[in-house]
Amino acid sequence: MDTNLLMLIFTGALVGASSGFLGSFMVLKRMSLVGDALSHVALPGMAIALTMAINPMLGALVALTVAVFGIWYLGEKTEIYPEALVGVFFTASLAIGILVTPEPELLEALFGNLETIGLFDSVVTIFASFLIFIVTLRLSDKLLLGVVSEDLAKSGGIKVSKVNLIYLLLVGLVVALGVKFVGTLLTGAMVIVPAAAAKNLAKSIKSFQIVSVLIGVLSAAFGIIIAQATEIASGPAVVLVSITAFVISYFFKAE
């Protein structure tokens, strides 16, 4: 195994860990579909970055940040998540993204391509992953109390809406990190599937989060190894490994 591949596996595993951790809250907040659709917004951002010869990860990050503010605003202003509106907006951005993305880059933007991941991407990913872990650990109790009851959290002095915004921004960040590995169509799965699998097995929040992170790490690492060995796109490989974990977890579902 050469150092390049090791580096890929390492950074991929970090993305898997961060998205597994963040995904655990997404699943509890019943926002899984929003998390999935959110990843589609990355495409037009990447497309514009590609045409301007900027790193597509940065383009994705900008587009995602804008979208996160939109989701957050809608969530704050309405009682129920305006699901239909979110669906319309995100599929629209996917359609526009497909039209704008230069043809040679379209396939890798949609499904990921390990070849294009350079040292810069790895360094950014390592720093961003640590940032995600530190901030999320500090937010964890507040987010979870908000899941149990927003009123209870607010009456305890927690600024629920601020906590939600920071959390969603972190989700946007992890999706931006994931797009190069698994592509914009499937990055949402990295956030949702490990957490959904872990929820089947978990008997406590602690075990839920640990298992979710582990499944995220293993899916990314094995997916990348399989993609390299069989020369298939990395996105489907990573996602199918995590789906396999989900199917297995279903048979061991905790009572």
Q: Counting contacts by CB under 8 A, is residue 22 touching other proteins?
A: no
Q: Does residue 241 touch other proteins according to CB under 8 A?
A: no
Within the chain, how many helices (H) and strands (E) appear?
Answer: 12, 0
CB of 200 to other proteins, least distance (A): 9
Does 208 sit near other proteins (CB under 8 A)? yes
Q: Read off the DSSP letter of residue 186.
A: T
148 part of the interface to other proteins, by CB under 8 A: yes
> Among 5, 95, 102, 151, which residue sits at the site for other proteins (rule: CB under 8 A)?
151
Q: 27 to 46, contacts with other proteins by CB under 8 A?
A: 28
Instruction: Tell the smallest beta-carbon distance from residue 2 to other proteins (Å).
Output: 40
Tokens of 91: 């599929």
Residue (158 or 177) nearer to other proteins, CB: 158
Q: How far is the CB of 64 from other proteins (least distance, A)?
A: 28
Point out which span in 12-20, 109-117, 139-147, 241-249 binds other proteins (CB under 8 A): 139-147
Contact with other proteins (CB under 8 A) among 141, 161, 162, 248: 141
Instruction: Answer positive or negative: Cα dihedral of 247, 250, 251, 252.
Output: positive
Residue 12 near residue 223, CB atoms below 8 Å: yes
Taking CB under 8 A as the criterion, the residue among 1, 52, 203, 229 binding other proteins is: 203
- 102 φ/ψ angles, rounded to the nearest 5 degrees: -55, 135
Interaction between residue 137 and other proteins (CB under 8 A): no
199 near other proteins (CB under 8 A): yes
Interface segment toward other proteins; rule CB under 8 A; list 33-41, 125-133, 145-153, 220-228: 145-153
- Taking CB under 8 A as the rule, does residue 204 contact other proteins? yes
| Residue of 1, 103, 206, 229 interacting with other proteins (CB under 8 A) | 206
Stretch that binds other proteins, among 7-15, 199-207, 214-222, 227-235 (CB under 8 A): 199-207
Residue appearing with tokens 């978990």? 202
| Residues near other proteins, by CB under 8 A | 28, 141, 144-145, 147-149, 151-152, 154-156, 199, 202-208, 254
